[in-house]
Amino acid sequence: MQAPTPVSATARVMTRARRLVQPVQRPPGPPVQPVIGRLPRVERALAGHGIEYMLDPLKFLTRMSEGHGPISHARLGIKHVYMLSDPALIHEVMIGRYREFCKGVLWKRFLIPLIGMAPLSADGEAWQRYRKMSTPPLQRKHIAGYADEMVACTERMVAEFSHGETRDIYADMSRLTLDIVSRCLFGQDTTRDATKLIEALDAAMENFARSAYSPRFLLPHWLDPSQTLGRAAKQTDEIAYAMIDRCRADGATGNDLLSRLIHARDDDGEAFTDREIRDHIATMLFAGYETTAISLAYTLAQLFDNRQVAERLRAEVDRVLGQRTATFDDVPQLPYADAVFKEALRLYPPVYAFVREPTQDLELGGFTIPRGSILILSPYVMQRKARYYRDPEAFRPERWLSGETDDNPRFAYFPFASGARVCLGIHFAKLEAVLVLVTLMQRLSLQVEPGFQVAPATLMTLRPATGLKVIVERR
Ligand code: HEM
């Protein structure tokens, strides 16, 4: 991937001057609605659609996508945002012209201070170097070796549950997926530090989501009085540097990602610095645990609401596994489990929207998109369109087995993104989710606590706002 061509200061001044005389013509978009809330007047005036977005991002993105054509516009705080609602346009941005876009300001403000520079956050040549280094342990051919560890972690967790107790299974899934990613990719046990790390990341994400479209966002993160991001970064430092030290002390001889990073040399013979290795660990922990935990929690929540689906899934598990521990070779025999997970990701994609920024002014969908504006691509919105899914709000795993979705365009379903920057953990996550799900179904009978409703909280991801309270029964 080429680095974006630098734009000179003179060219930028000229562009701004031209825009004063001839303003950019923006695509249509929803009108600003009167919103409740007690934000100070100056924040309200500057927020544009930002308050509406903050109050209910899913509703706002859906409203933005309906009735305004393939590309629509809104102002969120100081930023002009463009929502893409046409699979062909999304294809153009993610695949045909991906070199013309970068991750942009939201990443610089939040993720880079936390996870540093690694495949998720970098752009250009740095991204290429990092992605090349961290891809092999996550390739399809390597992940078979993680299956037994994934099942063993799940069985260990289940063994700690008591019959009849009430648990927040979302919190359990978070600890479990952190445990799995740490053991499989770094050969290390993080159970002792897991709660502290999860709490620090949660606080940072919540604070970021609250300030993202207000003028407070203009302040550098080290001036933020809450210091949640600083604390989460420090917590991550402690865990990651301790992992590096332990791995070096053990000789770094494993085939895991951490040992490989310690020994890696790039094309110029340069080794990664400890800071770069720390950033890779932070990235994999950050990207690898919460998304999978969320998707498992929503999968379970859907099973409580759809008893017939749960019964069909349990019948498949009993037929294929009986009481035997699941292995990698069982996965192809569990197509219904795979479809259940796929359908949960359709209705509740953990990354409900992601962003790209043009590195230069460019033309897209017949409009000029100025450099510095934000493009929003939303799996949540696209995956609920009646144009592509019959009965789109219904949880129907069968749609993935009957062939009815086969003719859909590629970007009618993209919970892991697609193209050059497709999720690096896609094969890992799919394998993990199916193995965890079938092991839970095999060992437990979970009942949702009477009256408990799962409500999505839209921070950076679509996590269940108040967890998922279940009553545990052993089978
Ligand atoms: C259900 C689980 C998961 C979902 C839904 C998911 C979704 C995504 C999405 C949508 C992106 C693209 C974000 C963007 O371009 O802005 C992404 C990127 C990424 N994901 Fe995942 N992810 C999951 C699990 C994982 C796991 C388990 C790992 C690691 C073990 C992981 C590592 C990454 C990395 C490193 C990237 C950056 C790729 C790049 O930019 O080159 N993800 N993921």
Q: How far is the CA of 350 from the centre of ligand 1 (A)?
A: 10
Q: How many Å lie between the centroid of ligand 1 and the Cα of residue 288?
A: 7
The pLDDT value recorded for residue 3 is: 42
Ligand 1 atom at shortest distance from the alpha carbon of 430: 1
Residue with CA at minimum distance from ligand 1 atom 6: 416
CATH number of the domain enclosing 161: 1.10.630.10
Residue 397 lies in a domain: yes
421 close to ligand 1 (CB < 6 Angstrom): yes
Ligand 1 centroid to residue 284 C-alpha, Å: 9
Distance from residue 424's CA to the centre of ligand 1 (Å): 6
Residue 117: which domain range? 103-351+383-474
pLDDT at 373: 92
Cβ of residue 232 lying under 6 Å from some atom of ligand 1? no
88 and 118, same structural domain? no
pLDDT in tens, the chain (475 residues): 344 445 566 766 666 666 666 667 888 888 776 665 555 555 555 566 777 787 788 999 999 999 899 999 998 877 889 999 999 999 999 999 999 999 887 777 778 888 888 888 889 988 998 898 888 889 888 899 999 999 999 999 999 999 999 999 999 999 999 999 999 999 888 888 888 888 888 877 777 776 665 555 555 656 665 677 788 888 889 989 999 999 999 998 888 889 989 998 877 888 889 999 999 999 998 899 999 999 999 999 999 999 999 999 999 999 999 999 999 999 999 999 999 999 999 999 999 999 999 999 999 999 999 998 999 999 999 999 999 999 999 999 999 999 999 999 999 999 999 999 999 999 999 999 999 999 999 999 998 887 777 888 777 788 888 899 999 998 8
| Tokens describing residue 212 | 């993202």
Is residue 77 assigned to a domain?
A: yes
Q: pLDDT at position 46, please?
A: 58
365 belongs to a structural domain: no
Per the structure, how many domains does the chain have?
2
Do 410 and 431 belong together in one domain?
A: yes
Contact 123, 213 (CB under 8 A): no
In this structure, are 76 and 177 located in the same domain? no
Contact, 153 vs 173, CB < 8 A?
A: no
Q: Does the CB atom of residue 288 touch ligand 1 within 6 A?
A: yes
Phi/psi for 404 (5° steps) reads: -70, -15
